[in-house]
Amino acid sequence: MLRGETSKPYFRDLWAFVEREREAGPVYPAPEDLFSALRLTPYARVKVLILGQDPYHGTTPDGRGQAHGLSFSVRPGVRVPPSLQNIYRELQEDVGFKPPRHGSLVSWARQGVLLLNAVLTVRQGEPNSHAGKGWESFTDAILRAVNEKPTRVVFVLWGAYARKKAKLVTNPQHVVLESAHPSPLSVAKFRGTRPFSRINAALEEAGETPIDWQLPAEPEVA
């Protein structure tokens, strides 16, 4: 689906930039996790797209990054970040979710939830450090490709940054859910929006299997 995109000059420049950044210092996620969202949720299986901004930039006690290529998700063994804690609280109120002790959302990805960040890499400790380098063009191409699917997809856009992408969703069979971001700065406006039950209602209306939002007690290996 993206072969034409990866052969464009901007993508070659982007790839060279990321390689230089990795030579200079830690960049997250690790190379093997860079395209985890696309690998775990193949195009044919995409039913929901939850758009984040850029990967977590923090480091774990063992020296690895928190990020593992899925928006809002962290690798097993990493403390659940504040935004994801707020997502868990909303899930509890919305669908009776029981929060696990981990923050891995691999289970959702395997069910057809494309957990996509608009920017796919970040320098350690420097949020948004790889913004404006070309990732946005690449992930916009992913959004456009998903928009072309003939079956319903629910696009979930949290926060002002993600909501700007609503213009890329033009096919009438799709559903766009917009709200405030679940970060601590805007959680008061996020709370009570009930996105997870609304996602499943939209899927069922289109004859699609709903998402089982309950995460396993033990994280799945990506």
The residues carrying an active-site annotation are 54
Alpha helices in the chain (DSSP H): 3-6, 9-24, 36-40, 82-95, 106-110, 135-147, 159-163, 187-190, 195-205
| Spatial CB neighbours of 98, under 8 Å, sequence gap ≥ 6 | 92, 214
Closest C-alpha among 57, 54, 53, 27 to residue 125: 57
Q: What is the dihedral of CA 27, 186, 179, 192, to 10 degrees?
A: 120
Closest C-alpha among 143, 61, 158, 52 to residue 105: 52
Angle 152-157-162 from CA coordinates, rounded to 5°: 130
Closest C-alpha among 81, 90, 189 to residue 178: 189
Contact assessment for residue 37 and residue 114, using Cβ atoms and an 8 Å cutoff = yes
Q: Classify burial at 24, counting beta carbons within 10 Å of its beta carbon; exposed 0-12, middle 13-18, buried 19 or more.
A: exposed
